[in-house]
């Protein structure tokens, strides 16, 4: 139960029910529940959109849904994506890239990358042919992709929350996360299409991780956020195809 609460408190604005720091072992176990957090987030965002459309046109409802998405997640993964853009494209050595990514200040690459993410998400939500499935699969598969790269790729630093999570995640957590994501994908997309999208999300995640590995020789927490954000955008775009 503590690892489940850790997953919700780590990835969302879920109220703090355990008034202490989670152990590194609990954070490693929490990885198993990341897709379940995505399921809850997907339904919540769909509810926001449905309520918004009772008052506003579809375009405004899509914007409010993106706004809620940012609030519910504290822009957690988006911030990682923006830091990654600054680091990977603003530095010329692995050491300098890691230094830039650790800097809390935002540069041009991060600002542009964040703006493009928000624009893509907004237009995709506004144009979606099946909004419930799009939101549910984007949030779920995005949070399934990060456990994959956490487990299968080395970490670039010797300190920080990311390395503690990396050291304590086991194959068992990855399998539980995969089961949750698989069941959700099967029912959300009507069978085999969901599993195809799941496979596609894994491929996207590994491509992003492989590219980062070429430049950093290891992943970071920001890269994990970038993987999640990239998979989310990919799934949302798929559901604009009519």
Calpha distance 204→200 (Å, rounded): 6
Torsion of CA 225, 69, 73, 165, to 10 degrees: -30
Residue 159: per-residue pLDDT: 76
In the chain, the largest separation of any two C-alpha atoms, in whole Å, equals 51
Residue 78: per-residue pLDDT: 96
Residue 165: per-residue pLDDT: 85
Res 18 pLDDT > 80: no
The DSSP call for residue 32 is G
Residue 17: per-residue pLDDT: 74
Asked if 120 contacts 236 with a C-beta cutoff of 8 angstroms, the reply is: yes
pTM, two decimals, is 0.95
The Cα-based distances of 19 to 1, 6, 22, 27, 216 in angstroms read 14, 11, 9, 15, 36
In the chain, the percentage of residues whose pLDDT exceeds 90 is 82
In order, the DSSP letters of 49-83 are HHHHHTTS-HHHHHHHHHHHHHHHHTTHHHHHHHH
Percent helix / strand / coil, the chain, rounded to 5 = 80, 0, 20
The Cα-based distances of 72 to 40, 49, 54, 57, 80 in angstroms read 11, 14, 21, 22, 16
Calpha distance 228→13 (Å, rounded): 17
Q: Out of 94-108, 128-142, 167-181, which region has the weakest mean confidence (pLDDT)?
A: 94-108
21: left (phi over 0), alpha (psi -120 to 50) or beta: beta
Residue 155 bridge partners (DSSP): 219
In order, the DSSP letters of 100-143 are HHH-SS--HHHHHHHHHHHHHHHHHHHH-SSHHHHHHHHHHHHH
Would you place residue 141 in the very low, low, confident or very high pLDDT band (cuts 50, 70, 90)?
very high
68-126 per-position pLDDT tens digit: 999 999 999 999 999 999 999 998 999 999 999 988 889 999 999 999 999 999 999 99
In order, the DSSP letters of 156-176 are S-SSSHHHHHHHH--HHHHHH
């Amino acid at each position: 139960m503590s690892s489940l609460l850790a997953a919700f408190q780590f990835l969302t604005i879920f109220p703090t029910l355990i008034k202490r720091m989670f152990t590194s072992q609990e954070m490693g176990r929490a990885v198993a529940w990341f897709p379940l957090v995505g399921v809850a987030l997907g339904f919540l965002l769909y509810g926001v959109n449905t309520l918004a459309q009772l008052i506003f046109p579809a375009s405004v409802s899509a914007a409010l849904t993106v706004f809620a998405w940012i609030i519910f997640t504290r822009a957690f993964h988006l911030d990682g994506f923006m830091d990654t853009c600054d680091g990977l494209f603003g530095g010329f050595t692995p050491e300098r890239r890691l230094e830039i990514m650790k800097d809390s200040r935002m540069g041009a690459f991060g600002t542009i990358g964040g703006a493009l993410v928000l624009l893509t998400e907004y237009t995709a939500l506004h144009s979606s042919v099946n909004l419930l499935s799009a939101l549910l699969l984007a949030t779920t598969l995005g949070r399934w992709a990060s456990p994959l790269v956490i487990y299968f790729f080395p970490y670039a630093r010797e300190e920080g929350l990311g390395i503690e999570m990396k050291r304590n995640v086991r194959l068992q957590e990855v399998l539980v996360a995969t089961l949750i994501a698989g069941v959700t994908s099967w029912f959300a997309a009507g069978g085999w299409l969901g599993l195809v999208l799941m496979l596609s999300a894994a491929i996207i995640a590994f491509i992003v991780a492989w590219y980062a590995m070429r430049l950093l020789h290891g992943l970071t927490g920001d890269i994990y956020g970038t993987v999640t954000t990239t998979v989310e955008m990919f799934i949302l775009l798929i559901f604009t195809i009519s």
